[in-house]
Amino acid sequence: MSTLKNKVAIVTGASSGIGAETAKAFARSHAKVVLIGRRADRLKALEGEIREAGGEAFCITCDMTKRNDVDKAFAKSVAEHGPASILVNNAGVMLLGRFERGLADEWKQMEALNVQAALYASFKAIDQMKGIGGGVIVHVSSTAGRGPRLLNGAYAATKAAILAAAESMRQELIQHNIRVCTVIPGAVATDLADHVTDEEAKGALAGLLKMKRLEPEDVARAIVYAAEQPPYVSINEILIRPTQQPF
């Protein structure tokens, strides 16, 4: 029997890519999956796909950068499905470019979604997990957070911030039996690169996009692996790259 059976798993950024595949993987492990994201049509389609396959899924439309939206989403989730045992902070955006271009609005957007939204969602989940004696929080970071490169500095800064925050969070939450893991993927075949507007950055990504990248389900398996460990086992970091990625 799965160790995740009937546990409530909240997945942010669930409408596509890593989030969608993670939601499906948790459902296959018999968790009750709460799908959170902005794109209601995609969430509804994913909810239907999971249910058709015999799983349990429930979608909640939410802009993770708006605290009032997050408050309502977590309140709805606990009221209708029970307290969260698992939170996957997957929602994020990648916007690349030189610092000298002064793309302040893009920096603000990344900081709001990649960092602040993850921290606030964690705060909401911690409150629920403390009430049931424990849980698992999984943050999705990036290899960029471990080794920034030309043109990705602002994005890398947000992912490095999550690595730092996760370790502090892990130490703080030991007393509550809440485990914290950061999954650190390299290049993944998702629509993340489609958000890039800077032409120089698009050119720099071209070679990376030609490489055989990870599939979203590869990262999803790593996330579920961390979550399904027994309560006395805490997987703190999982670094996963395509075989051909040199950095």
In a domain, 168, yes or no: yes
Query: Does the annotation count 155 as an active-site position?
Result: yes
* Domain-located, residue 2: no
CB 96, CB 201: distance < 8 Å: yes
* CATH number, residue 193: 3.40.50.720
Question: At residue 1, does pLDDT exceed 60?
Answer: no
Query: What are the pLDDT digits (tens) for 95-119?
Result: 999 999 999 999 999 999 999 999 9
pLDDT for the residue numbered 197: 80
The mean of the pLDDT values for the chain is: 95
CA distances to 96, 152, 242 from 146, rounded to whole Å, are 16, 12, 16
* Local structure of residue 32 (DSSP, 8 states): E
CB neighbours (10 Å) of residue 34?
29
- Give me the pLDDT at residue 116, please: 98
Instruction: Report pLDDT for 206.
Output: 76
On the 0-12 / 13-18 / 19+ scale of CB atoms within 10 A, 54 is exposed
Question: What pLDDT shows up at residue 208?
Answer: 75
pLDDT of residue 193: 78
**Residue numbers of the domain that contains 155:** 8-240
Q: Whole-angstrom Cα distance, residue 159 to residue 218?
A: 20
Residue 97, token pair as written in the block? 């470019």
- For residue 160, being part of any structural domain is answered with yes
23 domain-assigned: yes
| pLDDT score, position 203 | 83
In this structure, is residue 83 part of a structural domain? yes
Residues 126-152 have pLDDT tens digits of 999 999 999 999 999 999 999 999 999
Which residue is catalytic, options 120, 155, 225, 232? 155
φ, ψ of residue 240 in degrees (nearest 5): -135, 120
Is 246 within a domain? no
User: Does some domain include residue 3?
Assistant: no
Number of separate domains in the chain = 1
Q: Is residue 247 part of a domain?
A: no
pLDDT in tens, 156-203: 999 999 999 999 999 999 999 999 999 999 999 987 777 788 888 888
